C-alpha cells in the first residue's frame, strides 16, 4: 500500500480518537518504500560519512547512496540541523530517499541521523549523544546510527 | 552562560566555517538550563506517562513535572508528532521546560521523547522503535527514553 | 529548468554571499510548475472554498482543483495552520500542487492561502486580515487571496 | 489576557469542532502583546531595513526596534527564509518581539515580513511580490509590508 493511503488511514484513526499506535502494515509500508528507493542521496560537504552509510546499506541489502556535495553548514544555524539538511537536499536534487546526519537540536544537543522520503516525510531516525560525551569516532557513531535507524524498522543484516 | 550566547557563538562558528562539533560548555549550558527549570510540563491526554517521567526526573535529582491535560491527538496529524506536541504545550502554558512523548515521524516510524526549552528549542531527545517491533510496555519504553534523554547530556542518577 | 536546479543555483548564490534577490527565471520556473500541474488538490472539511478557488483558476487559464475532504481542524492546533493544512494534504494524497487556506499563525492573526508543490515547497501565498477586521465574506476573501497569490507571480487573467 | 490563555481557549474550540474564526479578544490580545513589547529586534546583515521599520513603528506609536547584526544568508537555504530568520534571531538574543524580512518560500516566491513573539509564535505578517515583478524600491516594499502587518491587526497611525 502506498504511504499516502497508510498515512491517511492513520490520520483518520487519530481524528476519530481511536488510534492505538503503529500498525505492522505501516512499518512494512515504510520498509517497502526504503527497499524500492532507487535514488538515495546523502548530503554532505565531504564524503567522510558516505562510505560508512554505504557499508551499512550494503550489509542490509539496500541500494547504494550517492553523495550530494553541497554547503551544509548553513543548516547548523537552524533549530533542527539534521532534519533541515535532509530537507535542503530534497529541495535541490531529484531523489527517492535522503539520509542526512547532523546536529539534533541546539548546539550541545548531540547528533541525529534521519531518513526522509521524496515528500520530506520522516521515515526513521537514530540519535547519538554529543561526541564529547560518548567519545566514539565519527565513523563508529554514523555506523551505529545508520544500523539503528534500519533495525528499529525491522530490517535485518543479510 | 545563557543559551542565547552559547547558540550565538556556535552559529558564528558555523557561519565562519570553523565549527568542529558540540563543545563541553554547550552541553553544560543545556544541563544547567534543565537543572534550573522550575516549571516543567508534560502534555498528554491522560496521566499514564507522567508518573514514569517523574520517577526518572526524581532519580536524576530534577524537579517534578506537572501534567498539562490537553487534546494531543491532533498532533498525530502532523509530520513530527512528538515535537509538535511539545510546541503545542509551550504555546498554551507558561513553563520553563516541556517534556513530550509521541510519534517520531510518519505512522509506523516509532516514538520519540523530546525536551524543549521556553523558546521551543530542542535540548535533548530519545527515540524507540515502533511498539510492535520492540514489544516493551509503554511504561518501560518511556522510562528508557527519559533516562536516555538525560544520560546523553551527561546527567547521572543520584 | 526544473525547480531543483533553480533552487540549487539560488542556494549556491546565498552560500557564496552573492545572492541579489529573486531572478526572473526563478519566477518563470514557478509559473511553469503551476501551469504544468495536473493534479491540484484543495483540502477542506467542506466544499465552500473550492468553488471560489476553481473560479479563479479558470479565469487564469489553470486546471481545476479537486476537493480533498478531510479533517482539517487538527491543523488549527499548530503554529502555522494554513501551511500545515497544505502539508497534511500532500502527505495523504498523490498530487502535483496543493492550495490550502487557513489561519496564518496564532489565533487572531488572520488567514493565509498557500500554494505548495509536490515536495512541500512554498511557491506562493497571500494573506488577509482577521475576518472581524476586514469584514469581507469568506468567498470574497478567498477570491482576493487566490487572485493575489497568482498575480504576484506574474500570472494574468485570460 | 495572556496569549497562552487565548491560544488554549482557541485550541479547545478547534478540538471541540466549534471554532468559528478569529475572535476580537484574540486580535486585541496580539495588539497588547506588541504594544507592551520592550525589546524589539530586527535581524539583518546590514541596517538598510531597520530605519524604515523604525519609521513605521514610530508612526504607529510603538517602541523602536534594535538591530541584531548577524549572518542571515544561511536562512536563504531553508524552506521559509523570513520565518527562519526570525526564529534564528529569537534563538540567539533575548527579546520580546522579532520583526524579520526575507524570502517567503522558494527562490522566486517574493518576500515576507513576519512578527513573532518571545516563544516564536507568528503574530502577523505581510508579503510582497518578487521585486522583479513589483519594481518597488526595497525601502518602499518594507514600508508597505510593515504598515500592512500592523494595520491588518487593527493598529492605526497616530
Portion of chain C with pLDDT greater than 70, in percent = 99
pLDDT of residue C38: 97
Contact C155, C147 (CB under 8 A): no
Query: Which residues on D lie below 8 Å from B120 (Cβ)?
Result: 119-120
> What is the per-residue pLDDT across C18-75, written as a single tens digit (0 to 9) for each?
999 999 999 999 999 999 999 999 998 778 799 999 999 999 999 999 999 998 999 9
Average pLDDT rounded to a whole number, residues A108-118 = 98
Q: Residue D47: which pLDDT band, with cuts at 50, 70 and 90?
A: confident
- Choose from C3, C11, C16, C69 for mutation: most chain A CBs within 10 A: C11
Q: Residue C110: which pLDDT band, with cuts at 50, 70 and 90?
A: very high
Whole-angstrom distance, CA of residue A106 vs CA of residue A78 = 8
Selecting from C79, C88, C106 the residue whose C-beta is nearest the C-beta of B77 gives C88
Average pLDDT rounded to a whole number, residues D54-68 = 97
Ranges of H-type helices in chain C = 3-15, 24-36, 48-59, 81-92, 131-134, 138-151
Q: Residue D155: which pLDDT band, with cuts at 50, 70 and 90?
A: very high
pLDDT of residue B95: 97
Residues 6+ apart with CB under 8 A from A138: A48, A49, A131
Average pLDDT rounded to a whole number, residues D26-54 = 94
What are the angstrom distances between the C-alpha of A45 and each of A48, A51, A52, A68, D44? 9, 13, 15, 8, 26
Average pLDDT rounded to a whole number, residues D79-98 = 98
Asked if the Cβ–Cβ distance from C3 to D106 is below 8 Å, we say yes
Whole-angstrom distance, CA of residue B108 vs CA of residue B118 = 30
Selecting from D2, D7, D120 the residue whose C-beta is nearest the C-beta of B119 gives D120
Q: Show the low-confidence residues of chain B (pLDDT under 70).
A: 1
Q: Is the pLDDT of residue C1 over 80?
A: no
> What is the per-residue pLDDT across A126-145, written as a single tens digit (0 to 9) for each?
999 999 988 889 999 999 99
pLDDT of residue A123: 98
The residue to which cell 480518537 is assigned: A17
| Strand arrangement of the beta sheet that strand B122-128 belongs to | B65-69, B40-44, B97-103, B111-117, B122-128
pLDDT of residue D46: 75
Kindly give the pairing relationship between strand D122-128 and strand D111-117.
Answer: antiparallel
Contact D4, B91 (CB under 8 A): yes
Average pLDDT rounded to a whole number, residues D108-115 = 98
Whole-angstrom distance, CA of residue C44 vs CA of residue B33 = 42
pLDDT of residue B12: 97
pLDDT of residue B45: 79
Asked if the Cβ–Cβ distance from B22 to A130 is below 8 Å, we say yes
pLDDT of residue B54: 97
Average pLDDT rounded to a whole number, residues A18-34 = 97
Portion of chain D with pLDDT greater than 70, in percent = 99
Three cell numbers at C51? 468553488
Contact D67, D44 (CB under 8 A): yes
Average pLDDT rounded to a whole number, residues A46-55 = 90
pLDDT of residue A121: 98
**Which residue pairs from C49-52 have beta carbons closer than 8 angstroms and sit at least 24 positions apart in sequence?**
C49/C101, C49/C138, C49/C142, C52/C139, C52/C142, C52/C143, C52/C146
Selecting from C17, C30, C79 the residue whose C-beta is nearest the C-beta of D109 gives C30
Query: Which residues on B lie below 8 Å from A131 (Cβ)?
Result: 21-22
Whole-angstrom distance, CA of residue C130 vs CA of residue D31 = 13
Asked if the Cβ–Cβ distance from C131 to D76 is below 8 Å, we say no
Selecting from B5, B74, B92 the residue whose C-beta is nearest the C-beta of D8 gives B92
pLDDT of residue C135: 82
pLDDT of residue C60: 97
Q: What is the DSSP letter of A102?
A: E
| Window from A42-51, A52-61, D136-145 with minimum mean pLDDT | A42-51
State the burial class of residue C154 (Cβ atoms within 10 Å of its Cβ: 0-12, 13-18, 19+).
Answer: middle
Whole-angstrom distance, CA of residue B50 vs CA of residue B36 = 20
Residue B77, min C-alpha distance to chain C (Å): 7
Residues 6+ apart with CB under 8 A from B104: A122, A124, A125, B80, B81, B82, B110, B111, B112, B127
Q: Residue D135: which pLDDT band, with cuts at 50, 70 and 90?
A: confident
Chain centre to alpha carbon of residue D70: 18
- Residues in a beta bridge with D128: D111
Contact D128, C153 (CB under 8 A): no
Question: How many residues are there in chain B?
Answer: 158
- Residues in a beta bridge with D126: D113
pTM of the model: 0.97
Neighbours of chain D (3+ CB pairs under 8 A): A, B, C
Widest Cα–Cα separation across chain D: 47
Instruction: Report helix, strand or coil for C111.
Output: strand
Question: How many residues are there in chain C?
Answer: 158
Residue B92, min C-alpha distance to chain C (Å): 10
Q: Residue D154: which pLDDT band, with cuts at 50, 70 and 90?
A: very high
Amino acid at each position: 500500500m502506498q504511504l499516502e493511503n497508510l498515512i491517511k488511514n492513520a490520520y483518520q484513526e487519530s481524528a476519530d480518537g481511536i488510534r492505538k499506535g503503529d500498525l505492522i502494515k505501516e512499518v512494512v509500508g515504510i520498509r517497502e518504500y526504503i527497499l524500492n528507493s532507487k535514488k538515495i542521496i546523502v548530503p554532505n560537504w565531504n564524503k567522510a560519512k558516505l562510505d560508512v552509510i554505504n557499508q551499512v546499506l550494503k550489509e542490509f541489502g539496500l541500494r547504494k547512496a550517492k553523495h550530494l556535495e553541497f554547503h551544509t553548514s548553513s543548516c547548523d544555524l537552524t533549530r533542527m540541523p539534521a532534519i533541515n539538511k535532509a530537507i535542503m537536499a530534497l529541495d535541490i536534487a531529484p531523489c527517492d530517499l535522503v539520509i542526512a546526519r547532523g546536529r539534533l537540536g541546539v548546539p550541545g544537543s548531540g547528533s541525529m541521523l534521519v531518513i526522509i522520503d521524496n515528500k520530506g516525510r520522516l521515515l526513521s531516525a537514530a540519535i547519538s549523544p554529543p561526541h564529547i560525551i560518548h567519545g566514539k569516532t565519527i565513523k563508529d557513531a554514523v555506523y551505529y546510527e545508520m544500523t539503528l535507524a534500519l533495525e528499529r524498522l525491522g530490517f535485518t543484516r543479510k
